[in-house]
């Protein structure tokens, strides 16, 4: 039973993170933005994130369940990447700073690489479960760049 409770806690943590991120919506600003033709529809984005959040929770839970070695350090990296996910949503959708959001997503990618790296020696499967998120974030970074470029780009748009 203890294992199911700890899994439920990790699922709750990612649901809270997703809920906080969803407070920042694009609205009319995002709808008016010039987007590349390959920009996924909102439903596809939401579906992808739903799957990724479940994978994130299960992955972190596997590290918690193993709780050996540097598991606390690995989980700290995991928490930091959740914080960066909220920061990206706030920067992009909340304050409409596409350039700054791009900087956040690149930092988020680096932190996620650290998550994968620190999870690997503790539990190979947990590390592997984070790889789809890395692939998605790389795609999102490219999308973020194109949106930034199509909507003015340049250093002036960052400040």
pLDDT value for 3:
83
Q: CB neighbours (10 Å) of residue 39?
A: 15
Kindly state the DSSP code that residue 34 receives in the 8-state scheme.
-
Residue 33 CA to residue 146 CA, distance in Å, equals 11
Q: Does domain 2-157 have CATH number 1.20.1260.100?
A: yes
pLDDT digits (tens, 9 = 90+) for 106-122: 999 999 999 999 999 99
Question: Could you tell me which of 140, 130, 131 has the C-alpha nearest to residue 92?
Answer: 140
Under 8 Å between Cβ of 88 and 108 = yes
E-only strand ranges, 15-111: none
Please state the pTM of the whole predicted model. Answer: 0.92
Every domain of the chain and the residues it spans: 2-157
pLDDT value for 43:
93
> Which residues in the chain land under pLDDT 50?
none
Residue 133 CA to residue 139 CA, distance in Å, equals 10
């Amino acid at each position: 039973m203890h294992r199911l409770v700890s899994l439920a806690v990790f699922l709750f943590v990612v649901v809270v993170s997703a809920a906080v991120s969803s407070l920042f919506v694009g609205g009319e600003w995002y709808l008016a933005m010039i987007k590349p033709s390959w920009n996924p529809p909102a439903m596809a984005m939401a579906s992808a994130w739903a799957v990724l959040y479940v994978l994130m929770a299960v992955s972190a839970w596997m590290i918690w369940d193993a709780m050996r070695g540097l598991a606390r350090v690995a989980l700290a990296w995991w928490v930091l990447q959740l914080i960066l996910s909220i920061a990206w949503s706030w920067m992009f959708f909340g304050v409409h700073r596409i350039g700054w959001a791009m900087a956040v997503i690149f930092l988020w990618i680096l932190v996620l690489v650290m998550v994968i790296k620190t999870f690997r020696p503790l539990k190979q499967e947990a590390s592997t479960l984070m790889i789809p998120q890395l692939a998605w974030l790389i795609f999102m970074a490219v999308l973020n760049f194109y949106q930034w470029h199509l909507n003015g780009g340049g250093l002036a748009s960052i400040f």
